[in-house]
């Protein structure tokens, strides 16, 4: 098999309103909500860089300027930290400065679904395969989920989605695959359906917010076909590629937190805090669960 074209670009859809976190998200994007000491968007970008991805494309909406500022110099802050000799804090402030031209932004002017958000990045993707990560889905694991997926992609090529087992009653919240031949945690995908009713779900293998896609998916998205929920669904576009290109699911190693939901965001904070010895000691000292 010819070696697959390397994955060097990632699309991060960040135009959502974050209504489940109001009033906190009235003035700041949900993607900037901190999990311990970093905003959600930073976890996604760091995971992408670990996977060898070089170019980051943020699909933004109104009032998302603060995310652009987060990945830029804060000259006044940096100057003050330098004058005060706070070198550690200065290094932290500069940590997520990507090389010039490695991060770009495109506006999704209307909220028409995940598929539409991905389509908005078509000009920056061109004819290259690319990754997609939903920052709401924080995945804690070593290596990161995207690194696991890129490693698999380098072996099999084509399209890859990250999946996890969910209770059957929860399948209506996800895209769900029809599994084919399985080898370890790698599953051939024979079908894909968005938010099926539990008794109609072809499996309990649910797709979560990590994807590796071939550029042909943009052709279907360009038709702007309306799917579940009255939106342009990425799942529907991916399903069109099954049988035409290699298509696999990877049941990744790691823990996924739905940080678009208050309970998932809280659990993510606790789980990541437990990795810090000082914070772990504090949590064990202060929190008693009945």
Determine the pLDDT at residue 90: 86
Determine the pLDDT at residue 131: 98
Q: What is the pLDDT of residues 99-111, one digit of tens each?
A: 888 899 999 888 7
Tokens of residue 111, six digits: 């909220």
Q: 9 vs 34, 54, 136, 152, CA distance in Å?
A: 25, 6, 19, 17
Cβ pair 205, 250 in contact under 8 A: no
Helix (H) / strand (E) containing 279: helix 277-286
Domain covering 9-277 in this structure, CATH number: 3.90.550.10
Average pLDDT, the chain: 91
Whole-number percent of the chain with pLDDT over 90: 68
Q: What is the pLDDT of residues 112-138, one digit of tens each?
A: 889 999 999 999 999 999 999 999 999
Any bridge partners for residue 159, and if so which? Answer: 247
What is the arithmetic mean of pLDDT over 6-33?
A: 91
Confidence of residue 289 (pLDDT cuts 50, 70, 90): low
Q: What is the pLDDT of residues 208-262, one digit of tens each?
A: 999 999 999 999 998 887 877 777 889 889 999 999 999 999 999 999 999 999 9
Determine the pLDDT at residue 38: 92
Angle between the 87-94 and 75-83 helix axes, to the nearest 10 degrees? 160
Tokens 């810090």 identify what position?
276
Is the overall model pTM greater than 0.85, yes or no? yes
């Amino acid at each position: 098999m010819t070696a697959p074209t390397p994955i060097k670009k990632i699309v991060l859809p960040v135009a959502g309103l974050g209504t489940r976190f109001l009033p906190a998200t009235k003035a700041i994007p949900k993607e900037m909500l901190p999990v311990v000491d970093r905003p959600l968007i930073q976890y996604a970008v760091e995971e992408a860089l670990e996977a060898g991805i070089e170019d980051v494309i943020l699909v933004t909406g109104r009032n998302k300027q603060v995310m652009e500022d987060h990945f830029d110099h804060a000259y006044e802050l940096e100057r003050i930290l330098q004058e005060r000799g706070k070198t550690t804090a200065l290094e932290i402030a500069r940590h997520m400065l990507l090389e010039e031209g490695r991060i770009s932004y495109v506006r999704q002017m209307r909220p028409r679904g995940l598929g539409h958000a991905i389509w908005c990045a078509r000009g920056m993707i061109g004819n290259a395969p690319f990754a997609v990560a939903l920052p709401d889905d924080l995945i804690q694991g070593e290596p990161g989920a995207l690194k696991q997926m890129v490693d698999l992609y380098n072996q099999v090529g084509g399209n890859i989605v990250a999946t996890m087992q969910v209770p059957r009653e929860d399948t209506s919240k996800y895209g769900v695959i029809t599994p084919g031949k399985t080898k370890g945690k790698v599953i051939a995908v024979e079908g894909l359906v968005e938010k099926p009713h539990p008794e109609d779900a072809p499996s309990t293998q649910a797709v979560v917010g990590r994807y590796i896609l071939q550029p042909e998916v943009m052709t279907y998205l360009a038709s702007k076909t309306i799917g579940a929920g009255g939106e342009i669904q990425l799942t529907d576009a991916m399903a069109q590629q099954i049988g035409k290109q290699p298509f696999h699911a990877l049941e990744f190693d790691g823990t996924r937190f739905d940080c678009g939901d208050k309970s998932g965001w809280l659990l993510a904070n606790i789980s990541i805090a437990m990795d810090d010895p000082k914070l772990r000691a504090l949590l064990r000292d202060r929190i008693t669960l009945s």
